[in-house]
Amino acid sequence: MKFLNECWVMIPARSGSKTIKNKNIKYLKNKPLIFYSLNFYKNIKLFKKIIFSSDSEQYLKIASKYGKFELHKRKKYAATDKALDFHIFKEYLKDFMKKNNFLPKYFAHLRPTTPLRSKETVLKAVKCFYKNSKSYSSLRTVSLMSETAYKSLRIIKKKLCSISKEDFDLDKYNQPQKNYPKTYVANGIIDIYLTSNILKGYLLGKKVYPFLVEDVNSDIDNLHDFNRIKYYMDKKIR
């Protein structure tokens, strides 16, 4: 597929996780977490280039043990917990363009905190965006939320209120789930961007293709998630 020769993969992993210390290299079934995303793309051999980006020399050294990836040392401003995904891609492209006069047409974004993904899902997502890239600014894999986000709540001044606005009259929200629209959550399996849009100053844009995946909530954010994924892997759910 022509798309695969025009698409590079970025796997970013910063070292400053606050929920789990060194989360991205924490061992999951005898391998550091970053191994699963790196190994997945090395083995499926779909993309022309795989870039591993980190602010940590330790992380870069660990990644180099698992294959011949392009290693990108990220600057500190793009590695804080306030930095956006966009800053990672922008910085890489800025550094790359200093020495080269060509760029890929597409970038695939793989989060190392999502260790469970299937080749079939990724390939279908890639084919889908290749067919629709003239009509959409990007693609993001999403999963249906078990409970609609419209019933989510916030706490303000020690009182519950609706998630969408500062409304404390909760009786109006106490309705059956079927009365609300379905809502979806990004699952981190793959995002695909247009490089031209990154150069313009954004990643996703205003027309994001929703690629629906039946997911087991595989994104790791805290220790509970980590243990849950380990359980799935032990039981060979995927």
Instruction: Give the CATH number for residue 115.
Output: 3.90.550.10
| Whether residue 170 is found in the same domain as residue 100 | no
pLDDT of residue 2: 61
Strands (E), 40-158: 49-54, 70-73, 106-109, 138-144, 153-156
Identify the bridge partners of residue 153 per DSSP, sorted by sequence position.
162
| Whether residue 48 is found in the same domain as residue 155 | no
Cβ atoms of 59 and 13 closer than 8 Å:
yes
| Whether residue 157 is found in the same domain as residue 230 | no
Cβ atoms of 180 and 150 closer than 8 Å:
yes
The whole-angstrom separation of Cα 41 and Cα 37 is 6
| Whether residue 220 is found in the same domain as residue 173 | no
pTM of the predicted model, to two decimals? 0.88
Q: Whole domain around residue 215: which residue ranges?
A: 2-145+183-235
The amino acid occupying position 233 is M
Residues 6+ apart with CB under 8 A from 196: 105
| Whether residue 156 is found in the same domain as residue 61 | no
| Whether residue 151 is found in the same domain as residue 192 | no
| Whether residue 202 is found in the same domain as residue 164 | no
| Whether residue 41 is found in the same domain as residue 133 | yes
| Whether residue 155 is found in the same domain as residue 125 | no
CA of residue 140 relative to chain centroid, distance: 9
CB atoms within 10 A of CB 24: 25
Residues 6+ apart with CB under 8 A from 233: 28, 29, 115, 116
| Whether residue 86 is found in the same domain as residue 191 | yes
The whole-angstrom separation of Cα 6 and Cα 106 is 6
Question: What's the structural domain count of the chain?
Answer: 2
| Whether residue 226 is found in the same domain as residue 172 | no
| Whether residue 21 is found in the same domain as residue 49 | yes
Which residues, given as ranges, of the chain have pLDDT below 70?
1-5, 77-81, 215-217, 236-238
